[in-house]
Amino acid sequence: MHKSRINRRLIESIKDVEGVTIHKLYEEYPDFHIDVNREQQLLLEHDIIVWQHPFYWYSAPSILKEWIDLVLQHGFAYGREGTALRGKQVLTSITTGGRIDAYQSGGRNEFSIPQFLAPFNRTARLCGMDYLPPFVVHGTHMFSEEGIEEAARKYRSILISLRDEIFSMDEIMQCYYLNDLLEKSEKR
């Protein structure tokens, strides 16, 4: 995080939003000893979970995988008795060095972002949660200060609109990226 340009600003933009809890896994658990009970309690206290991270090797930084492996326990998150997370919403918020044209069939990275995020999508849905389209900031290496500001503003507005249930689930699920959601309200 101390080297981050973009994620740091995205977090800055939402830290004063009522109802939002920011929980930085690398700062909480620098030794990777994740407190499973505490994490499960936090999940229970929230309706919308955002997995926010830079895109690393076409996936998440390793601590998020560790968190998923430990926290989404059988009997809590899945299995016959594991219903604690049912009905909650999850979304991935990522920043990528690669531009959007690199993330499509025939592009440099061959696959799309939703394709790369399939394990997160399936994981959420196995636990009975709705996996929303991702919020994505592409091409981070070329971002100007104004570009970062704009992305941060959009992120804040989108999270507030989810909190306030401004859009129907159908409208949300029709977006390729959640970034497109605000355009829907402009068209209304």
Is 26 near ligand FMN (CB under 6 A)? no
The secondary structure of the chain in percent helix, strand, coil, rounded to multiples of 5, reads: 45, 10, 40
Within positions 137 to 156, which residues make up the interface with ligand FMN, using CB under 6 A?
140
d(CA 172, CA 158): 11
**13, 25, 39, 55: which one contacts ligand FMN (CB under 6 A)?**
55
What is the DSSP pairing of strand 130-131 with strand 48-54?
unpaired
Cβ closer to ligand FMN: 97 or 119? 97
Using CB under 6 A, pick the residue from 57, 80, 146, 187 that binds ligand FMN. Answer: 57
Number of residues that bind ligand FMN (CB under 6 A): 14
- By C-beta, is 65 or 86 nearer to ligand FMN? 65
- If one asks whether residue 58 binds ligand FMN (CB under 6 A), the answer comes out as yes
User: Which residue pairs from 13-17 have beta carbons closer than 8 angstroms and sit at least 24 positions apart in sequence?
Assistant: 13/152, 13/153, 13/155, 13/156, 14/155, 14/156, 14/159, 17/156, 17/159, 17/160, 17/163
Q: Does 54 interact with ligand FMN (rule: CB under 6 A)?
A: yes
Please report, as ranges, the residues that interact with ligand FMN according to CB under 6 A. 4-7, 54-58, 95-98, 140
